[in-house]
Structure 1
């Protein structure tokens, strides 16, 4: 396994999709707000920090579980390289837009949880997965703020709606995938996963009724969460009946609802 190229396909989906949604929303807000040109430099710096930061985190996970000093030395090099690039990009973004410093209150605890779980030998625990997926969804309002070159308080409420639903979808994907692979056959875990998806759907509907985003956002976000709830029961039910699903098949079946929730979150962020 190369420490320079993360091989977690599910993580890549959760890494790239909010970056794409947030970048498109940021450009739209940049044009609307007639923001200064340096906002685009901040946008690029945040994206560099985001992707290189994940590279450092992935290599950190390999380093933490390395069994020999030689393997640990091999894995730690990309931690330093990717971490340095991410750090410089993050400092540049803060220098150009100091208001972004408030996001440390959100990302700091989430990253700390993921790192502690990794050091404790639980890098794929539900707690670690949920903390990283919430951090992933938060990239959307970060980039919206960058594009508008405003303050945290100026991020539209509907952009937060899309972020919350995206975070709930990603967190649900963690529990669903575990119910199909690592926790397959665990009825309690499956019941908890289905129950979570039901609550997430109710929260989505309640937030849409309260915030009243553009109708395409409401329709798409609701449809995505209905789909997520249905698949949280249907595929484990089929697997319990003897049907075989490979990890690749489980992952590929996530693409349609992921597309729905991403387009819905984009509509909400505009």
Structure 2
């Protein structure tokens, strides 16, 4: 396994989707507000920090689980290289748009949870997965903020962050019911319960925020589809349907794209 490039395909979807959507939100906010060129530089720098920061986290997880000093040194190499690039990018953001520094407050506990779980050998635990998906979803309002948007709780970027956090967090217990926790009825109930909760929250949120009707409809539809597949897939697996990890991933792609559409409609 190369420590330089993550082999976790599901993680890449959670990394790239909010990054692209956040870039769109930030660029639109910048264009509408006629912000300074420095904000565009900051937008790019945030993305650089985000992707190289994930590279640091992935390699760090491998180093934490390494069984020999030689392998640990091999895994730490990208931590140092990617870490230097990430810090340089964050410095650019701080210089170009210092007002965004307050985002360190919500990110600090999320990073702390992920690092703690990694050090405890539980990098794929629910707390670790949920903390990283929330951090990923927050990228949408972060980039919108960098672009000059005036964020409120009803802003499309803010609503989108909650929506993406709930959607992507729900994929974690769902995938576990299909692979690591297959046949575990208690875990299946947890997964279905989480999806029901997410559907209710998203429906209430888009209504209270008076989100445009198309964005609201797509977001609610995504959560409804996610709930149905959280029930149907494990049930069919229990009846003998063979679902590979690849099958589950491919089936999730249209739902992820639909979720992206909902966010684009919300921030446009």
Normalised by the size of structure 1, how large is the TM-score?
Answer: 0.97
User: Could you tell me how far apart the structure 2 residues matched to 1:94 and 1:259 are?
Assistant: 32
Q: CA deviation at 1:158?
A: 2.7
Q: 1:217 to 1:15 in 2, by over 3 A?
A: same
Q: 1:17 to 1:207 in 2, by over 3 A?
A: same
- Matching residue of 2:256: 258
Contact 2:215–2:265 (Cα < 8 Å) also in 1: yes
Runs of 4+ in 1 over 4 A off after TM superposition: 153-156
User: Could you tell me how far apart the structure 2 residues matched to 1:97 and 1:210 are?
Assistant: 31
Q: CA deviation at 1:154?
A: 5.7
Aligned counterpart for 1:209 among listed residues 188, 207, 210: 207
- Matching residue of 1:97: 97
Which secondary structure does the structure 1 equivalent of 2:147 belong to? helix
- Matching residue of 1:111: 111
Contact 2:153–2:159 (Cα < 8 Å) also in 1: no
User: Could you tell me how far apart the structure 2 residues matched to 1:123 and 1:215 are?
Assistant: 38
User: Could you tell me how far apart the structure 2 residues matched to 1:182 and 1:22 are?
Assistant: 32
Q: Number of aligned residue pairs: give it.
A: 268
Taking only aligned residues, the RMSD between alpha carbons, in angstroms, comes to: 1.2
User: Could you tell me how far apart the structure 2 residues matched to 1:45 and 1:127 are?
Assistant: 28
User: Could you tell me how far apart the structure 1 residues matched to 2:184 and 2:217 are?
Assistant: 33
- Matching residue of 1:243: 241
Which secondary structure does the structure 1 equivalent of 2:124 belong to? coil
Q: CA deviation at 1:266?
A: 2.1
- Matching residue of 2:2: 2
User: Could you tell me how far apart the structure 2 residues matched to 1:106 and 1:131 are?
Assistant: 11
User: Could you tell me how far apart the structure 1 residues matched to 2:82 and 2:232 are?
Assistant: 40
1:34 aligns with 2:8: no
Q: CA deviation at 1:27?
A: 1.1
Normalised by the size of structure 2, how large is the TM-score?
Answer: 0.97
